[in-house]
Chain A
């Protein structure tokens, strides 16, 4: 039953801590939290460690002020708040791959103030557009592998790495196949459902997640959504796991048919291409993946990717969202909007905080939808 699949994704997100604790109790294995999708989960799976992404809870944060600057982004403060409140007390370790300074501060504050057995910082290079980036990251990954081996007390073999690569590639491939159903005139899946699929993938054992994805893909071809798809929208920008916002927008005769953020397509668009040197293969994937704008310079390569997605998924408009104080995403907003405008796609910018003021946002989103299709017949 397809609705059961979606319910399970939702339950996994809503009960992410219970899920992780039960997994740990069942397997007796370690769990590591990570903040950014530049952490190569392949290596953690190879070590039989469950990686779970640390995300916020969208409650006004009250505990982070002494530890993190107030003008850092809501995501990094909300993530730290979860740690300070003890909600991730089952974690055995935290790992972060360099992306932005804000999440680095969260990692450091966590390391300093929340008791944890293992921490590791991966120096993921910013200069991903230079030829040095892949060999550099490959060496950093070797250090990460050695550090993990020391912690768990056993070697990570090539077979282990192959297993990790296979699990991750399979998960991405299955989710990309689900994305194909968003291209239809009447998409078989909503933007909210896709967000819940991807978020739950970041919070659960991917082997279990893959089984559910296989079931979803069996049932999806026969699904007919009993709703008017309305305006075909893209959502693009900073990390976004605000499911309330997604639902509210899709209740206004609109459907998110594609997204471009690290809780969506950016997480799953690129695979590891197997190579005899496993770490080089993994490093290549993370250097050449659709980049976070913190690494996307001097060329804005992601903008062309966004334009390609806009065409493939035939969007009518795009909501460009930016977490408050997220400078890397802020930098790309003007050229991104310009590039979409050049292919005839109107955009509207919205600034996200820990919670979203829906009253005001509703007016903006509705008015944007009205400009796209809504009122032509009334003039």
Chain B
């Protein structure tokens, strides 16, 4: 009997990691940032402002439960307990739902701060492409936000849209960007800006006999157009960097770079962690303030 293909092409790998050559017992300040996004939740633990442990997983139906789960997963092999964390900052769409956070700070501020940590002080423009929204952020040499813009309401041009598309063309989401770049000639972008309509339009192209690579190229090109629109409104200044889950999709990023004639810096730390990293860094500053070091 034939089996149905039940592969979840949209599902991206969840993971956790601990920097093994660090020991939290030797650190003075242990802080954490929890970024509860609309699609993914991320937790970061920092020892004296240096990255120590982190995790990323899918956001479940109850944000509070996901916040606890992602934090506990990050510290699972460290011997740390929640009570050992000196200060926790919550960020992301579900930032008010992090029960053990002492304070919330928006993901805009946290992504800029996190991007500064990942990419260094030359960053002036941060593009964060998350699950349901896309943010163009201008910041100063300290990673402080100067101005920003977000997309309106619709999730087209964001991670959730890519998940829907991965399912449609049966390509694992991690491979989508690469597949979209494998065309010889760039097709016209799909014209719809709504995820559902863009999916329907892509489906129509598949039915016309377009290979999935070409449809993927058309879909990614439309995402890039939309993202560039937003970036142009806020203005792009070098250095330009990308954070959020979609930063890992070369099909989107290369097209954005092509349209802007600007290259983005390449990260050494997973850019999906930028928000939680920023939150953990703010947590350090807040703890220093609390104990009179600032």
Contact = CB atoms under 8 A, between A and B. Distances in A.
A238 to B, nearest CB: 16
Contact of B145 (A360, A363, A371): A371
Nearest to A368: B148
Given A359-B93, A375-B105, A379-B285, A351 B147 contact: no
B142 interface: yes
Contact of B294 (A359, A364, A371, A377): A377
Interface string B140-169: 001111111010110000000000000000
B107 A363 contact: yes
B41 to A, nearest CB: 16
Nearest to A366: B106
Contact of A351 (B107, B152, B294): B152
A83 B249 CA distance: 50
- The CB with the most chain A CB atoms within 10 A, among B108, B142, B289, is that of B108
Contacts of A375: 105, 109, 144, 282
Contacts of B142: 379
B286 interface: yes
Nearest to B289: A377
A378 interface: yes
B108 A367 contact: yes
B153 A360 contact: yes
A377 B152 CA distance: 31
Interface in B58-111: 93, 105-109
A221 interface: no
Contact of A363 (B106, B152, B294): B106
A4 B147 CA distance: 41
B133 interface: yes
Contacts of A367: 106-109, 145, 148
A359 B106 CA distance: 12
Contacts of A371: 109, 144-148
> Helix, strand, loop or mixed for chain B's interface?
mixed
A370 B145 contact: yes
Contacts of B105: 370, 375
A346 interface: yes
A379 B143 contact: yes
Nearest to B151: A360
Nearest to B282: A378
Nearest to B89: A378
Contacts of A374: 109
Interface in B178-218: none
Contacts of A364: 108, 150
A378 B150 contact: no
B33 to A, nearest CB: 13
Q: Considering residues B105, B107, B133, which has the most beta carbons from chain A within 10 angstroms of its beta carbon?
A: B105
B282 A370 contact: no
A357 interface: yes
A359 B105 CA distance: 14
Interface string B275-294: 00000001001100100001
Contacts of B133: 360
A363 B93 contact: yes
B289 A363 contact: no
A379 B150 contact: no
Nearest to A379: B142
A112 B210 CA distance: 50
Nearest to A359: B93
A370 B144 CA distance: 10
B63 to A, nearest CB: 11
Contacts of B285: 377-379
Contacts of A351: 152
Given A357-B153, A379-B285, A363 B109 contact: no
Interface in A18-60: none
A366 B282 CA distance: 16
Interface in A339-358: 346, 351, 357
Contacts of B107: 363, 367
A366 B150 CA distance: 13
Contacts of B294: 377
Interface in B7-23: none
A87 to B, nearest CB: 28
B106 A378 contact: no
A376 B150 CA distance: 22
Nearest to A376: B144
A367 B133 CA distance: 14
Residue among A351, A359, A378 having the largest count of chain B Cβ atoms under 10 Å? A378
Contacts of A378: 282, 285-286, 289
Nearest to A357: B153
B144 A363 contact: no
A346 B107 CA distance: 20
Given A370-B109, A375-B109, A375-B282, A363 B143 contact: no
Nearest to A349: B149
27 contacts: A351-B152, A359-B93, A360-B153, A363-B106, A363-B107, A363-B150, A364-B108, A366-B106, A367-B106, A367-B109, A367-B148, A370-B108, A370-B109, A370-B145, A371-B144, A371-B147, A371-B148, A375-B109, A375-B144, A375-B282, A376-B144, A377-B289, A378-B285, A378-B289, A379-B143, A379-B144, A379-B285
Interface of B: 93, 105-109, 133, 142-148, 150, 152-153, 282, 285-286, 289, 294
Interface of A: 346, 351, 357, 359-360, 363-364, 366-367, 370-371, 374-379
Given A366-B106, A370-B108, A375-B109, 4 more contacts: A363-B150, A367-B108, A370-B106, A379-B285
